[in-house]
Amino acid sequence: MERTLLEEFVIILLHPRRGRLMTMGNTLSQAVAVAALTDLMLSGLIVLDEGKVKVKSLKFSGRKVQDYMIRKIYDSGRLRTFKQWTGKFFVKGGRFLRETLSDLVHRNVLYARDHHFLFFHYRRYFLIREKERDELIGELQAVVFGEDLPDLRQAVLLQLLASCNLSKLIARDRESAKIFRRKIKEFRKDERILGEYAGILGEVKKTVSSAAVTG
């Protein structure tokens, strides 16, 4: 089963030694909602029609997050923008994250390790194939520092990392960071990448960045 954009985002955010995510709070919840909604677009289940999200196909993948979202959008009977829907799903960000981690454990991508300290219990997650995260990051670095255009999935992942102030995962020094910022701006305007989803990267930027401010 192919990885969803949300799953790849979570894998990239997992600290390889500490087993926890490298950002938390409102920013992460909003980013998770954005990634999951974009997954529905990439799967052809929803489309943007004059700026409004419409259900194109009511199909269920077996992934709890995507199935929940497509059902909610379909049952609402209302047309909302991408940003309005991410706002609706933002409050479910923590739940979406837990279910995504659980799915990855179930599919033997991650394994969970439970820890106890006094009365507290917490769980850490680690990749079974440790190089998978490095391969994803390497793929994004090749897009940023190479000549090839990203596909929409890669462009959204890069914008999510930028909006979560995690560009350091891709650009490791000051000069690389300048290139990263320039490329992100270029991607947001490039119709060859966005196609029918023109403006979507700008929506991702505004939506996640606003959560970073309010959080």
Q: What is the average per-residue pLDDT within 35-39?
A: 92
Backbone angles phi, psi at 139, to 5 degrees: -60, -45
Distant-in-sequence, close-in-space partners of 164: CB < 8 Å, separation ≥ 6: 23, 27, 28, 31, 208, 212
pLDDT tens profile 40-69: 988 889 988 888 999 998 988 888 999 999
- Residue 9: which residues within 8 A CB-CB, separation 6 or more? 31, 32, 35, 157, 160
Number of domains in the chain: 1
Range of the domain at 80: 5-214
**Tens of pLDDT along 160-201?**
999 888 999 999 899 999 999 999 989 888 888 777 666 677
Output the domain CATH number for residue 121: 1.10.3630.10
Look at 214 and 203; give whichever has higher pLDDT.
203
Does residue 215 carry a pLDDT above 60?
Answer: no
- pLDDT-derived band of residue 213, with 50, 70 and 90 as boundaries? very low
pLDDT averaged over every residue in the chain: 87
Supply the pLDDT for residue 105: 94
